[in-house]
Amino acid sequence: MSEHLTVVEHPLVQHKLTLMRDKATSTSEFRRLLHEITQLLAYEITRELPVTTTKVETPLEVIDAPKLAGKKLALVSILRAGNGMLDGVLDLVPSARVGFVGLYRDEETLKPVKYYFKVPDALEERMVIAVDPMLATGNSSVAAIDMLKEAGAKNIRFLCLLAAPEGVARMKEAHPDVPIVTASLDRQLNEKGYILPGLGDAGDRMFGTK
Ligand code: URA
């Protein structure tokens, strides 16, 4: 993937995103839409999965046909909102291995602190897709990618629903080798770190918390 940022302009993605932005959309509908959009974004972000060929006998001939090669994809959810994107990717790549990164923000240093980290083995041999619906300041995304690289990951992609220009710039500075796929590059962050126009707190909206 040569572009650092890919915005998926597909009409189905954009239509579903509009429904998700609407504050009147219910929790169950929001979750269902996130699942559906993630399937479409997953199609885009897996374009460069390595392929090899295998002999297959059709009813008419034997051919060399493409199939996925190498170690299984590693899908890593950045807790907690990333969990809302897991099943959409797993629908397309059911054999993917799944990991989790949990971070909280230290109130004094304001730096992200790791509280949970469990990822598949042999990360260095896998394509790794980190998922988090909102790329806002980029602080947690950059920290999560730092940890994945420390764990050996070399071929990492970042999948989000919405991105703020500030977060994209921060990721580009810290991890220029990590392509980002998103449904929208929104306008800006507000003073509380929310994306504008955005859709609010993605975790609260998908889990029905406040
Ligand atoms: N996280 C969210 O859930 N929403 C935002 O707008 C920014 C960060």
Which residue shows structure tokens 């406040």?
210
Take atom 3 of ligand 1 and give the residue whose Cα is closest: 201
Q: Which residues contact 52 (CB under 8 A, 6 or more apart)?
A: 66, 67, 68, 69
By most ligand atoms within 8 Å of CB, the mutation choice from 195, 196, 199 for ligand 1 is 195
Query: Per residue in 150-171, pLDDT tens?
Result: 999 999 999 999 999 999 999 9
Q: Pocket residues for ligand 1 (CB within 6 Å)?
A: 134, 136, 193-195, 198, 201-203
For the chain, domains (ranges, CATH) are 5-49+69-207 (3.40.50.2020)
Q: Which two tokens stand for residue 205?
A: 């909206």
Side chain identity, residue 165: P
Query: Per residue in 87-122, pLDDT tens?
Result: 999 999 999 999 999 999 887 887 889 999 999 999
